[in-house]
Amino acid sequence: MKLIGILICSLLSFQFTYAESGYQLWLRYHQIRNQKILIEYQHNIRLVYIESSSPTSAILKSEIVNGLKGLLNKKISITKNKVEADLLFNINTKTATNSEEGFDIHSIKNKDNKFKVYISAKKDIGLLYGGFHFLRILQNEQSIDTININSSPSLSIRILNHWDNLNRSIERGYAGISIFNWHTLPDYIDQRYIDYARANASIGINGTVLTNVNANATILTTSYLLKVKALADLFRPYGIKVYLTARFSAPIELDKLKTADPLNSEVQRWWKNKAKEIYELIPDFGGFLVKANSEGQPGPQNYGRSHSDGANMLADAVAPYHGIIIWRAFVYNNEIAEDRFKQAYNEFKPLDGNFKKNVLIQVKNGPIDFQPREPFHPLIGAMPKTPMMMEVQLTQEYLGQATHLVYEAPMFKEILQTDSYVKGTNSSIASIINGDLFEHQQMNGMSGVANIGNDINWCGHPFAQANWYAFGRLTWNTNLTSEEIATEWIKQTFGTQQESIKSIQKIMLGSYESMVEYMTPLGLHHIMGNGNHYGPLPWGNSFSRADWNPVYYHKADSLGIGFNRTSSGTNALSQYNKEVQIKWADSSTCDEKYLLFFHHVSWNHPMKSGRNLWNELCYTYNDGVERVKEMERLWISTKNNIDGDRYHQVEQLLKIQLKEAEWWRDACLLYFQTFSKQPFPKNFPLPPHDLNYYQSLQFPYAPGNAQ
């Protein structure tokens, strides 16, 4: 019996050790399968030289040794002899890279047909980024005998926004509670903090906002700043700066000041003293992210002041320490009877040139609120005198949350590649946010609302990891394609078996369009459940605030459907440049993916397919469902090449996704049919329930609800 017990324990240990939980993300470093490539690597990589003795270089040494050991299945040693080394990391201030974070990688063959690989950078953080990139090349089984790479980041600020609260709950979090345990900090450093930093550094993310934009002033107290310092000290060698959200009313809440007026000298002094305290603890503190006068958050407008007044007051406080202020432009006021689309532009455009030089305006990718598909935000490019960064949402608040496989890179690329016509043609959104279009803007960046929690695989859905990965890779290089990023991630995450790569790539690259089709086709938007934003609720009209209700956005009636934002409606379209207006102003020529975003059109409106709008809506919803069925079929084809744990997890989630895609199709079409009064097309799959059934469904504990 004792022997049996030992055997059982051994088997359990074996299963646990080799189970694929997803915790390792894209840093698995499993042995290379391609024998030809493996022999090339093993033959040419034996000794590593690293020219630096900083904490960052110590991390690089550990990562390179462990990574190469796993990939090559051989021990790799660090040498102090540059001559005998095969892989050399050198600090070189004259390297070809134009950035202090950039790196060069090149190989040189010698007489006996062996070669050395040189990785150089101006600073040790560049060497770390170069080291991670070199490991990525190996994970993707690419030959290194003629490698020649010069890489610099497209954007200087590449930052995650955590909507994490101090009690560890996460607003719009779908992967467990926050990884940051404020109760046990600063004395207990969880290994997950280190692995989080590794993951971010591996894809070039260099900043993290630790706290929710709906800010809690407690984070600015001394006891909590000591906790922040512990994380900052840990993240620093990985090239990651910490940022905090600043609650505008903090002087009142923490020190009983009578006002938070940004022009009040006592308030200004309070923030300067607070900044001094923070920078004495954290010399490289990034600065503050601020949500003000939006959705009930306090701000300068409470005192009759402008956004620039508030931002500049904080900018003055952090300026002596080279800190920055990131001021969110997501603002809307229920007291103003105005299309929410227009409010950010209306409030911020007149302030162009009024902000201090260390202020960036953070603008969402679209003018509404992280919808499955929106046109680009008209404010991007409209403030040439003000640095601007684009905010995207990795957490899938409006994209099916943690049960739907949605690869977001195509959505990000769709926006980045769009021409704003700010300076004629070739004025892409990417060229605006990276500073190319307005060269005098020294600061630039992009932020992503994090999808990270304490689930064992970090992101809830195994494929949600790809969105974290894609964000980092795109902020480093906005020219990468969705396909390139997907291929990298698949090989590092699931292996290099070619047939599986092809199937998974098809799943990923088609998933975004599929989701748009079965949720919000043809320009529909914001028709999700009230509050939790889970599931379809096009009939939602329970909130006193008009623009918190789905009916406000689709405006379906007996005449048609869609939100008229042309000159005969709210005229929001006028906020774009003339060339953009021309593209979208006419319902007969408007790109159909934005049709109902800008136009209220008849149910019989002729579509390019030859069908009327009602039938097109039906077919598009159903096409989204059929795409999910294809995703299921493609996933089944990978079964023999994917570990059982993750295969079964994704298999179950795809079944949920199909069920919910059908729910979206049936509930929305039954509701819209009450207005169109038209039958479903011939041979169309009829809903299994009536509209009353779908309207009766309740989800009191869906993620996102206040408990």
Read off the pLDDT of residues 341-386 as tens digits, 9 standing for 90 and up.
999 999 999 999 999 999 999 999 999 999 999 999 999 999 999 9
- pLDDT at res. 705: 61
The verdict on whether 284 is a catalytic residue reads no
Given this model, what pLDDT does residue 9 score?
38
How many residues in total does the chain contain?
707
- Residue 334 — very low, low, confident or very high, per pLDDT cuts 50/70/90? low
CATH superfamily of 157-464: Glycosidases (3.20.20.80)
Written as six digits, the tokens of 385 are 């005198």
Cα–Cα distance, 57 to 124 (Å, whole number): 6
3-state secondary structure of 361: strand
Going by pLDDT thresholds of 50, 70 and 90, the confidence category of residue 333 is confident
Q: Which member of 86, 397, 455, 662 is catalytic? A: 397
What is the arithmetic mean of pLDDT over 449-463?
98
Question: Which pLDDT value is given to residue 305?
Answer: 98
pLDDT at 98: 80
Instruction: Report the SS3 class of residue 108.
Output: strand
The predicted structure's pLDDT at residue 4: 39
Q: How do residues 209-237 score in pLDDT, each as one tens digit?
A: 999 999 999 999 999 999 999 999 999 99
Which residue is associated with the tokens 């007489």? Answer: 111
Question: Each residue of 659-691: pLDDT tens digit?
Answer: 999 999 999 999 999 999 999 999 999 999 999
CATH 3.90.1330.10 spans which residues of the chain?
A: 517-563+600-696
Task: Specify the range with the lowest mean pLDDT, choosing from 135-139, 292-296, 416-420.
Answer: 292-296
Label residue 313 by pLDDT band (50, 70, 90): very high
CATH topology classification for 24-151: Chitobiase; domain 2 (3.30.379)
Q: Which one from 295, 436, 592, 623 is the annotated catalytic residue?
A: 295
Cα distances (angstroms) measured from residue 265 to each of 39, 52, 269, 271 = 69, 47, 6, 10
Structure tokens at 222: 């001394």
CA-wise closest residue to 193 among 210, 215, 169: 210
On average, the pLDDT of the chain sits at: 94
Nearest one of 210, 203, 209, 211 to 153, comparing CA atoms:
203
Cα separation, 372 vs 400, in Å, equals 10
3-state SS assignment for residue 298: coil
Q: Are 512 and 410 in contact (CB under 8 A)?
A: yes
Check if 369 is active-site: yes
Q: What angle do CA 414, 416, 418 make, to 5 degrees?
A: 70
Q: Would you say residue 15 has pLDDT above 70?
A: no
In words, the CATH class of domain 517-563+600-696 is alpha beta
| Beta-bridge partner residues of 681 | none
Least confident of 42-46, 179-183, 271-275, 284-288: 42-46
Tell me what pLDDT residue 230 has.
98
DSSP 8-class letter at 463: G
Q: pLDDT tens across 144-201, in order?
A: 888 999 999 999 999 999 999 999 999 999 999 999 999 999 999 999 999 999 999 9
Residue indicated by tokens 């099916």: 400
Rounded mean pLDDT, 446-471: 98
**Quick check: bond before 679 cis, omega within 30?**
no
Cα(317)–Cα(320) distance, integer angstroms: 7
pLDDT digits (tens, 9 = 90+) for 530-556: 999 999 999 999 998 889 999 999 999
- pLDDT digit string, tens, across residues 582-640: 999 999 999 999 999 999 999 999 999 999 999 999 999 999 999 999 999 999 999 99
Query: Which residues are within 8 A (CB) of 486 and not within 5 positions of it... i.e. 6 or more apart?
Result: 407, 409, 466, 470, 504, 505, 508, 509
Say how far residue 98 (Cα) sits from the centre of its chain. 26
Q: What integer pLDDT is reported at residue 525 of this predicted model? A: 98
